[in-house]
Structure 1
Amino acid sequence: VPVDANCTPRIGGNGRRVGTVWVGRPTAELKRAYHEMRAAHEALKRTQQQLLHSEKMASLGQLVAGVAHELNNPISFVLGNVHALRKYCDRLQTYMAALHAHEPEPVLQALRQKLRIEHLLGDLPSLIEGTLEGAQRTADIVHGLKRFSAMDSEERVPVNLVEVIERAIHWVQKGRPTPVDVRWQAGTPCTVMGSAGQLQQVMMNLLQNAFDAVGGPGVVSPCVWVSLACDADAVRVSVRDNGPGVPPEHLLRIFDPFFTTKPVGKGTGLGLSISYGIVEQHGGRLSARNAEGGGAEFVLELPKAQ
């Protein structure tokens, strides 16, 4: 029987060795314990991934109204163009029927002016181009939603944080009933290694919290500042608002799971906790503080891609 052995000397009060404790344990028991520990670890990883995806779906649900409005514009544009194209098609069919019937030239000329064939032919290219543009915008919006809602892989790829921040600002703004003034100036591309979907989730969470903070009573001119600084080794993203700030007693618990200061039904208490874990997995750091000029400030630091 394979045995894992361990020997420990026993020392008496006079400092001399008085014996040895020998412990033998069948190796199969150790293997079973190891397999149980590994299975528990895999189950924990699956639960964490499901929790991460659930929080992402909760964030996605908050954007539904804004996304519906965002989709409505290009779809309405396409529908209007298609109705115009159908009328043009009817007029062209009428004119083509007259041509096939070998109507005299004066009749064709009068019909051509009545149906405005010259105007129709000149307007067709712009109608088709506009329809294609509206359809492409709709496809881009749906693709962005699919990319955000999809389960993220463990693979780390180069990610341009400027694009991540701009997409996050766009989506969170669309989910607001009233727009918030966002002060953001896009600079040169700044690349980190990571998951674009997970990093966008972190940025959307920070922005959503900032928007909620300035959306309460007492904030006269709601404003959120987003800045990006990039040096040789690290990238630093700051999200600051002019809301009431975070009470000092809550700063130490703000990243704890299920801790929230929002009313019941408004927050799960998981957003900042999950964001903190994502940033740690990317080798970075997420911190919170109250800004000197008032309001809360969240600082995201990530290692720059070499």
Structure 2
Amino acid sequence: MTTTSALTHLLKPMPPLEADTSIADVADRLLTPECKAFLSLPVVDGAGRPLGLISRYTLQDIFMMRFGRDLHGRKPVGEVMNAAPLVVSLETSLEEAAHTVTSQLHYPITEEFILVDAQGCYRGLGTVLDLLKAMEQRIAQRNAVLRKTLVDLKESQAQLVQSEKMASLGQMVAGVAHELNTPLGYVKNNVQLLRELKQPLLQLADTHGTLLDCLHAPDCDEARLSAALGEAIEAREQAAPELLKEDLQQLFGDTLYGLEQIGELVVGLKNFARLDRAMSEDIDLNDCVRSALVIARNNIKDKAEVISQLGDLPRIPCAPSQINQVLLNLFNNAAQAMEGFGRILVKTWADDGAVLISVQDSGKGMPPEVLAKIFDPFFTTKPVGQGTGLGLSISFKIIQDHGGSIRVASEPGRGTRFLIRLPRPQAPHLQESA
């Protein structure tokens, strides 16, 4: 609906009066069926431009006076009309018309206003009530659109957050897969080598079995015994068990070490995801730090040395999988900030009111204009396609939802430090006093 059609819908055609029409004629006209629905009649000049409005209340006051009709009935309506009526152009918008009318209302409230065309000529009357109803409908329509937009925005936000989680999960899985491939690789090589080394041993066992069978056989002659003995001696020389013993010990040791590494990664991944744990429980944040470092090890190992200074921490209630997500994001960001091989310092400690985690890197740092936007959604300094700009924004929200805070300090060329503060639960006597 356009601006003009919106106001045209409010238009009520009413033949106007001329300024020299007598008051008595106006009163008679107000009694006609076509005018009964109106409280006012428009007055225009010869060119059709509005001069004012004459209301029933004004005529009632005149005729209620003693001999009012006889004294004033012949006077022109122009002498008693409201010469400053509300005038609205059909060209204005519904909002502008509502603002114009409501800003000019005065007591007693004039219920009608004059509608004019672009040339200022009278076209009809409108009522304040109809205008306000139309405005109310417009606001209701816009509120409905805003509500739908808000729902769509929340759905889009949820999808973006899920996309960021899936991107982080993909990076994590890729890192864990790479970490698993290394021990799996030499475990596989050792097994293949053991399979090759077993053949001479099996051949030696077969020749020894043939020799024993020959020794116990009554019909075994000297030639057959000599041949079986020669095969056993040759098989022993090929197997060389005295040399193989040390090799087998080394192979079994390496294989067990690789399997232990795989087991450590599996346990670390399980602890990181906390799939078998409650959504919120009392945990030691040092466990979260260790789990996140295990998962991030592939991304960090070629870029930085990790120095851990983990203090004794009280257990605090939190969602461990969410805290792990925050720490993994900080560790990966610290590794990506390195221009050469650097250092990442991870510290934990506690004070009377909170548990604190510090992640400090020796990377390239950030200028103030970047630092000011670091937690803004979709802000990223990475090339297109390499980051969504939601990692730190989600991390900020997670820490905020835990009642904590996350701060950052950085300087170009000197690195960056993130400080996470999570509140400790109050002692019972403090809770009672509070």
Q: What TM-score comes out, normalization by structure 1 length?
A: 0.68
Q: Secondary structure at the match of 1:260?
A: coil
- Which residue identity lines up with residue 254 of structure 2 in the other structure? G
Q: Residues 41-190 of structure 1: matches in 2 within 5 Å?
A: 48=158, 51-63=160-172, 66-102=175-211, 107=230, 108=232, 111-120=235-244, 123-124=247-248, 127-142=251-266, 144-145=268-269, 148=272, 155-175=279-299, 178-188=302-312
Q: Would you say 1:210 and 2:334 are equivalent positions? A: yes
**1:269 — aligned with what?**
389
Contact kept, 8 Å, 2:186 with 2:258, in 1: the verdict is: yes
Q: How far is 1:112 from its partner?
A: 2.7
Question: 4+ runs of 1 displaced by more than 6 Å?
Answer: 149-154
Once the 2 structures are TM-superposed, how far is the Cα of residue 206 of structure 1 from its aligned partner?
1.5
Distance 1:170 1:261, change over 3 A: same
TM-superposed deviation, 1:275: 0.5
Q: RMSD in angstroms over aligned alpha carbons?
A: 3.8
* Structure 2 counterparts to residues 22-33 of structure 1, below 5 A: none
Q: Deviations over 1:162-192 (max 9, x none)?
A: 2322333343341258422333323445533
Partner of 2:368: 248
Amino acid at match of 2:299: G
| 1:208 aligned partner, one-letter code | N
Distance 1:200 1:100, change over 3 A: same
Match of 1:20 in 2: none
Question: RCO (CA 8 Å, sep 6+): is it higher in 1 or 2?
Answer: 1
1:153, distance to aligned residue in structure 2 (A): 7.6
Amino acid at match of 1:76: G
The alignment covers a number of residue pairs equal to: 262
Q: What is the alpha-carbon distance in structure 2 between the residues aligned to residue 203 and residue 252 of structure 1?
A: 21
Cα distance in 2 between the residues matched to 1:297 and 1:229: 15
Partner SS, residue 214 of structure 1: coil
TM-score (normalizing by structure 2): 0.50
Which protein shows a greater Rg? 2
Local SS of the residue matching 2:310: coil
Determine if contact 1:155/1:195 at 8 Å carries over to the other structure.
yes
Unaligned 5+ segments in structure 2 are 1-146, 213-224, 428-434
Structure 1 gaps of 5+ residues are 1-36
Counterpart of 1:192 (choices 288, 311, 316) is 316
Q: Which residue of 2 aligns with 1:34?
A: none
The C-alpha deviation readout for 1:235-267, integer Å capped at 9, x for no partner, is 111122344544434444322221223332232
Q: Deviations over 1:140-180 (max 9, x none)?
A: 43554566568898621233322322333343341258422
Q: For the Cα contact (< 8 Å) 1:246–1:295, is it kept in 2?
A: yes
Cα shift at 1:82: 0.9
Preserved CA contact (<8 Å) 2:187 2:254: yes
Structure 1 residues 291 and 160: alpha-carbon distance in aligned structure 2, compared to 1, 3 A threshold: farther
The correspondence for 2:359, drawn from 222, 232, 239, is: 239
Percent identity, please.
37
- The structural deviation recorded for 1:273 is 0.9
1:228 Cα deviation from its structure 2 partner: 1.3
Structure 1 residue 85, shift from structure 2 partner: 1.6
- Give the secondary structure class of the aligned counterpart of 2:382: coil
Cα offset for 1:202? 0.5
Q: Residue deviations 1:8-55, cap 9 Å, x none?
A: xxxxxxxxxxxxxxxxxxxxxxxxxxxxx9xx99x969974x654432
Amino acid in structure 1 at the alignment position of 2:332: Q
Determine if the alignment matches structure 1 residue 230 to structure 2 residue 350: yes
